[in-house]
Amino acid sequence: MYHRWGFISALLLLSACAQQPVRESAGQPVKAGKEKIILQAADKKAYNKALWNIKEKKYKKAEATLDKLISKYPDASGPLANKGVIFSKKNQLKKAEEYFLKALSNNNKLVQARNYLAVVYRKQGKFSQAKEMFDAAIATDPYYANAYYNLGILYELYLQVPEKALENYQLYMDLKKGGDKQVAQWVGMLKRQLKAGK
Contact 59, 86 (CB under 8 A): yes
For residue 46, being part of any structural domain is answered with yes
CA 172 to the chain's CA centroid: 14
pLDDT value for 36: 77
Instruction: In whole angstroms, give the CA distance from residue 111 to residue 12.
Output: 21
Q: What is the 3-state secondary structure (H, E, C) of 89-154?
A: HCCCHHHHHHHHHHHHHHCCCCHHHHHHHHHHHHHCCCHHHHHHHHHHHHHHCCCCHHHHHHHHHH
How much is the pTM? 0.83
Domain match, 61 and 131 both:
no
Total domains in the chain come to 2
pLDDT at res. 20 = 64
Instruction: Give helix 41-55 / helix 59-72 axis angle, nearest 10°.
Output: 150
Q: Domain end: 109, 139, 155, which one?
A: 109
Both 98 and 139 in a single domain? no
pLDDT for the residue numbered 197: 81
Cα Rg of the chain (Å, integer): 18
Residue 26 within any structural domain of the chain: yes
Q: Do 69 and 135 belong to one domain?
A: no
The domain of 154 spans 126-198
Q: What pLDDT score does 32 carry?
A: 44
Strands (E), 34-103: 35-37
CATH number assigned to the domain comprising residue 173 = 1.25.40.10
How far, in Å, CA of 30 to CA of 23, rounded?
Answer: 9
The answer to whether residues 191 and 130 belong to one domain is: yes
117 domain-assigned: no
185 in a structural domain:
yes
pLDDT lower than 50: segments of the chain: 1-18, 25-33
The gap from C-alpha 37 to its chain's centroid, in whole angstroms, comes to 23
* Residue 132: closest CA among 144, 146, 114, 149: 114
Separation between Cα atoms, residue 190 and residue 198, nearest integer Å = 12
Domain boundary residue, one of 109, 141, 175: 109
Domain presence at residue 10: no
pLDDT of residue 5: 31
